[in-house]
A and B are shown apart, each in its own frame.
Chain A
Amino acid sequence: MRPYLGLLRMSTRRILTYRLNSLILWIGGATFLAGSLAVWHALLSQGEIGGYDWDQMKAYLLIGWASGAIGSAYGDWWMADRILDGHVATDLTKPLDYQWARFSEHMGGLATEFIAIAIAATAIVTFTGGMVVPGPVQALLFTVSFLLVAPLKFAITYITTMACFWTQNFMGVSWAKDAIVTLFSGALIPLALLPAWLAGPAAVLPFASITATPAALYLGQATGWEALRLLAVQAVWILVLWWGARLIWRRALRALTVHGG
Chain B
Amino acid sequence: MSLVEARGLTKIFRRPEKDPGLRGSLKHLVQRRFKEFRAVDGIDLSIEAGESVAYVGPNGAGKSTTIKLLTGILVPTAGTVRVAGAEPHTDRMVNARNIGVLFGQRTQLWWDLPVRESLGLLRDMYDLSPAFYKQRLERLDDVLGLADLLPVVARKLSLGQRMRADLAAALLHAPKIVYLDEPTIGLDISVKDRVRQFLRELREDGTTLMLTTHDLGDIEDVCERIVIIDEGRKIFDGPLAQMKDRFARVRRMHLQLAEPTPAEKLAERLPDVEVVAGASPTEVTVTFDRFTHTAGQVIAAVLDVVEVGELHLDEPAIEDVVRKVYAGELLR
Contact = CB atoms under 8 A, between A and B. Distances in A.
Interface string A1-45: 011011100100110011000000000000000000000000000
B75 A90 contact: no
Interface in A234-257: 253-254, 256-257
B96 A93 contact: yes
Given A6-B121, A258-B73, A261-B181, A90 B103 contact: yes
Contacts of A253: 74-75, 89
A93 B177 CA distance: 12
Most chain B beta carbons < 10 A, residue from A7, A96, A256, A257: A257
A2 B110 contact: no
A256 B124 contact: no
Contacts of A92: 71-73, 92, 96
A93 B73 contact: yes
Interface in A39-93: 86-87, 89-90, 92-93
B274 to A, nearest CB: 40
B105 interface: yes
A6 B120 contact: yes
A256 B117 contact: no
Contact of B64 (A17, A97, A261): A261
Nearest to B126: A95
B332 interface: no
Interface string B1-35: 00000000000010000000000000000000000
A244 B105 CA distance: 33
A10 B117 contact: yes
Interface residues on chain B, size class: 20 to 34
A95 B88 CA distance: 11
B113 A17 contact: yes
Nearest to A7: B121
Contacts of B99: 93
Contacts of B89: 253
B232 interface: no
B241 interface: no
Given A13-B117, A258-B73, A89 B124 contact: no
A169 B96 CA distance: 28
Interface of B: 13, 64, 68, 71-75, 89, 92-94, 96-97, 99, 101, 103-108, 110, 112-113, 117, 120-121, 124-127, 181-182
The 6 closest A-B pairs by CB, nearest first: A261-B105, A6-B124, A95-B96, A90-B108, A93-B101, A3-B125
Given A95-B93, A95-B126, A261-B181, 7 more contacts: A89-B73, A89-B103, A92-B71, A92-B73, A93-B73, A96-B125, A261-B106
23 contacts: A3-B121, A3-B124, A6-B125, A7-B121, A14-B110, A89-B73, A89-B103, A90-B103, A90-B107, A90-B108, A92-B72, A93-B72, A93-B96, A94-B96, A94-B125, A96-B125, A254-B75, A256-B73, A257-B13, A260-B105, A261-B64, A261-B105, A261-B106
